[in-house]
Amino acid sequence: MLVTKTPGTALTSINETMLNAFDAFNEYKKVLPEQKAIFLETIANEIEALGDTLINKASEETNLPAARLTGERARTTMQLRMFAAMVREGSWVEASIDTSIPDRYPVPKSDIRKMLIPLGPVIVFGASNFPFAYSTAGGDTASALAAGCSVVVKAHPAHAETSIMVYEAIKTSIKKCGMPSNVFQHVNDEGFETGKALVQHPATAAVGFTGSFSGGKALYDYAFERKNPIPVFSEMGSINPVIFFPDTLEKNSEELVKMYAGSVTLGMGQFCTNPGLMIAIESDALNIFLENLSEEVSKFIPSKMLHEGIQQAYIEKMEKALSQKGVTLIKKSTYQSNGIKTLPAIASVSGETFLKNPTLHEEVFGPYSLMVKCKDVNELKEVWQSVAGQLTTSLMGTDKDFNDHKELIEIAPAIAGRINFNNPPTGVEVCPSMVHGGPFPATTDSRYTAVGINGVKRWVRPICFQNCPEYLLPEELKNKNPRKIMRLINNQHSNGDVE
């Protein structure tokens, strides 16, 4: 039997971990919403109480600067409190009530009521590039706990000690709030067999993953090898194509250069929303923009990447892309320093060549971007539509551009989950309206988001009660509505009681 070590315990089998998670789920799903909300808020408080010790450890393990990590920790605790507010408000369960019509002719209508309920134990795989926001207590964990699921996190080995510190903060919160002791468990093991065993255990109900295509697709395949397949929500990267329309290149070139030099190099390009692909129609204005963009990027002072594996992968993939026939390296960063090999770079290629070479469609995870120079708007459209599903796509244009190219704008929703207008793709606002997802292979299920309160919908399913006695109904579906949550009653939204 596969075994793994969890912090603070002896060697524990995956089977025992998952059985503990299942038992904890059966207790936790009955916990009242107010108690769940307090639990989530307590986790946020305990993470903040770790102070600079946590920030320093994360910086040591990831090479990320303290300022970036401080902001990411704030985002993480904000997410926890956001889900606490959602749980407390209560309407997220989407309660729906259709009362009976016993004298309906020719067939009487039954009383039918529906709401969302939690799936069961959720496995969360920590991400390498976000040691807080997409890891141990990140959005997947916060949303799963909010849904009423137990959680088992497989820590990312790139920041294992940081993950343990956050784990201990969650365990402290469990004790303070009187939650089931195994509602959250932590697995710290580098072996891929451990991940496979977690996904394929019969008690596992769903999986959350942020990382590479190969890793996310493997987990997806493991889940469908099971006797009872389960949902896997993998976010697997993106090249985030950016369209630069002609009029804005003529009028706003300087602003665009600053914006996109910053976006390409932000965090050493280690974001799933990095603008790895730019597309425009050939023109003198495009040549000037590209020259100035490359010059701006060349001045960027690079830093170490998250770990040696990511650094080596960036070098290899960039060199592979640049070695392709027809690809021109415009400029790399001119910075010289021992140990810093991951230099930002801007390259270009013709639309015709790009369309013929699938290698150029692949993500280069790091501060690299490829400009595709198209001969006309038809080729631009063809290039844009040739890329696989994306997390984001961006449209940079003036009002004239948008009015002149309405047929192109109509294409955008088929390409990505988030459409940016005159904004860079980097920077994901955590709010109810955000969609962080997109068509395959950006994610394994484009119907869901990994950011914002709607992320909770990954970990729930609808349940229907027909002609159920009032006393057996969940609180959310009873005639009385003591929490005053918004419900759909006979096709009318109301927070009142059933008459």
Q: How far is CA 79 from the centre of its chain?
A: 13
Active-site residue, from 61, 235, 296, 379: 235
136 to each of 8, 149, 488, how far by Cα in Å? 16, 15, 35
Q: Verify whether residue 235 is a known catalytic residue.
A: yes
Please give the structure tokens belonging to residue 80.
């926890």
d(CA 442, CA 277): 14
Distance CA 424, CA 275 (A): 8
- Report d(CA 172, CA 46) in Å as an integer: 8
**Residue with structure tokens 């209508």?**
109
C-alpha gyration radius of the chain: 25
Q: Which of 61, 72, 272, 476 is catalytic?
A: 272
3-state secondary structure string across the chain: CCEEECCCCCEEEHHHHHHHHHHHHHHHCCCCHHHHHHHHHHHHHHHHHCHHHHHHHHHHHHCCCHHHHHHHHHHHHHHHHHHHHHHHHCHHHCCEEECCECCCCCCCECCEEEEEEECCCEEEECCCCCCCCCCCCCHHHHHHHHHCCCEEEECCHHHHHHHHHHHHHHHHHHHHHCCCCCCEEEECCCCHHHHHHHHHCCCCCEEEEECCHHHHHHHHHHHHHCCCCCCEEEECCCCCCEEECHHHHHHCHHHHHHHHHHHHHHHHHCCCCCCCEEEEECCHHHHHHHHHHHHHHHCCCCCCCCCHHHHHHHHHHHHHHHCCCCCEEEEECCCCCCCCCCCCEEEEEEHHHHHHCHHHHCCCCCCEEEEEEECCHHHHHHHHHHCCCEEEEEEECCHHHHHHCHHHHCCHHHCEEEEEECCCCCCCCCCCCCCCCCCCCCECCCCCCCCCHHHHHHHEEEEEEECCCHHHCCHHHCCCCCCCCCEEECCEEECCCCC
Residues with catalytic annotation? 235, 272
